[in-house]
Structure 1
């Protein structure tokens, strides 16, 4: 069944209660590769409850609790994460109780056989006093759902930084990286089941886009923020190619005042996996 534009644009979820513990924060951090060197004290603070902190990109876990698109008529075998935006209002706690409000803010038709693009915005507030923590916009590329006579996809200007990057940082993923990361909430079999991955057109299970996003966030925090997570205020990007567990992700960064631009590529193939990366520092 084709996408019903009016129906999908009306999808919302309100005041969804979400809670997580310091153990959940540790699990996320392990999922993006922290702790590979247990003697690295800079990494230990993400995976050890003594003076523990949370990586800002962990906020994307909130999106798993408001799965609006499960109510939509789309082919989930052909779905991939297209873009992710994160605006941070207040530092992400390592544990707490929250309220999530989500809504579809855009649905665009790329045409028959070309897919659809769906934007979902999620706002997160502390439950106890309604303090806003962050706002997320997740863009889904539904590769099998174009041709529903919806509005055309708006053109977006590509960001092409010039000159040599100011910082370059690389992180090697482990062969079981996706199997660890999925425990934070994304159980899509595309990342764990070889037969499902092949049916979706991949040679084997791929790394979660949100894991690649978290690894890039690690590189930004370590290289552009001097390890201070509170300095990161905005972190946006487009996913352009999959990563396979075990590959090395190189993130290149360009600074422009309080703004920065970045891209990530796989070391083994030199293929760009994140592009149009941009963000803001305090």
Structure 2
């Protein structure tokens, strides 16, 4: 089995229309660990429908086309697929409920060579249906670990953001629930790697791993908390690299460097002292 480059790079995705409610926004927030302290009124704004706010990182689950790489026609070894990088650009504050249209396209596929995998780059625009306003632009890099050497282009991948060479200016520790992946998947990513121990072991993991985008949501929570004072409108963009998997139940420690309106960041899991999100860059209003 090998990647069908022509089919994948030219694939025309149908626009996805999604109506989401405050219940969906609450479910997303709970899935990334918000309101672990249910008495924290700042966090409650994201998990209680009265005068409710939405986390800006929730844009990653809206109008999502699904786990399309599982389809055999693309020739991808889907069990070995991992999320490599993710970017979010917020154009308009995300409402806690509404109807959106998502437009997805694959922009590039890089062949890293036999035994080294392949990189697939895609973008998704999420628009508010009623106004037509662009809410968010999402950029994603998918690492297809089992698909190198298919004969595609071998151009160099973009360089990641470099973190400052000094001690972090601030640190936020946030725990995750043991059942975090089972909650987060209800926001739309049903890859069995995050739920079925048998699939996880066949992919080389000791247990189902947390979705990369759930880890991103925890980092986003840390940024909204520390850099934005729990005002989600202040987070304008973020980009990061997924460097290692997180297991549900681990504590994610976000280290931040603040330079004017740029906050650089990385995340490590406390229990294993391992960097799991790296080269993070956020723009704060």
Do they superpose with TM above 0.5? yes
**Count of residue pairs brought into register by the alignment:** 282
What is the SS of the residue equivalent to 1:27? helix
Q: Which residue of 2 aligns with 1:198?
A: 201
Q: Which residue of 2 aligns with 1:213?
A: 216
CA distance in 2, matches of 1:151, 1:63: 29
Q: Which residue of 2 aligns with 1:81?
A: 83
1:150-177 deviations in Å (ceiling 9; x for gaps): 1124244341321111110010111111
CA RMSD of aligned residues (A): 1.4
What is the SS of the residue equivalent to 1:277? strand
Q: Which residue of 2 aligns with 1:64?
A: 64
Q: Which residue of 1 aligns with 2:125?
A: 123
Q: Which residue of 1 aligns with 2:22?
A: 22
1:115-165 deviations in Å (ceiling 9; x for gaps): 111011000111112111010011111111111111124244341321111
CA distance in 2, matches of 1:78, 1:143: 5
Q: Which residue of 2 aligns with 1:167?
A: 170
1:29-82 deviations in Å (ceiling 9; x for gaps): 110111221111011111100011011111110263355535522011111111
CA distance in 2, matches of 1:276, 1:35: 27
Deviation of the 1:21 alpha carbon: 0.7
Deviation of the 1:211 alpha carbon: 0.6
CA distance in 1, matches of 2:203, 2:275: 21
What is the SS of the residue equivalent to 2:25? helix
What is the SS of the residue equivalent to 1:69? helix
CA distance in 2, matches of 1:275, 1:12: 32
Alignment of 1:229 with 2:232, yes or no, is yes
CA contact (8 A) 1:175 1:246 kept: yes
CA contact (8 A) 1:166 1:253 kept: yes
Q: Which residue of 1 aligns with 2:53?
A: 53
CA distance in 1, matches of 2:12, 2:126: 14
Q: Which residue of 1 aligns with 2:104?
A: 102
Q: TM-score, normalized by length of structure 1?
A: 0.96
Deviation of the 1:3 alpha carbon: 1.4
CA contact (8 A) 1:114 1:146 kept: yes
Q: Which residue of 2 aligns with 1:133?
A: 135
Q: Which residue of 2 aligns with 1:252?
A: 255
CA contact (8 A) 2:64 2:102 kept: no
Against the structure 1 CA distance between its residues 28 and 9, is the aligned structure 2 distance closer, same or farther, given a 3 Å change threshold? same
CA distance in 1, matches of 2:66, 2:190: 14
CA distance in 2, matches of 1:123, 1:70: 22
CA distance in 1, matches of 2:127, 2:68: 18
Alignment of 1:178 with 2:181, yes or no, is yes
What is the SS of the residue equivalent to 1:12? coil
Against the structure 1 CA distance between its residues 172 and 238, is the aligned structure 2 distance closer, same or farther, given a 3 Å change threshold? same
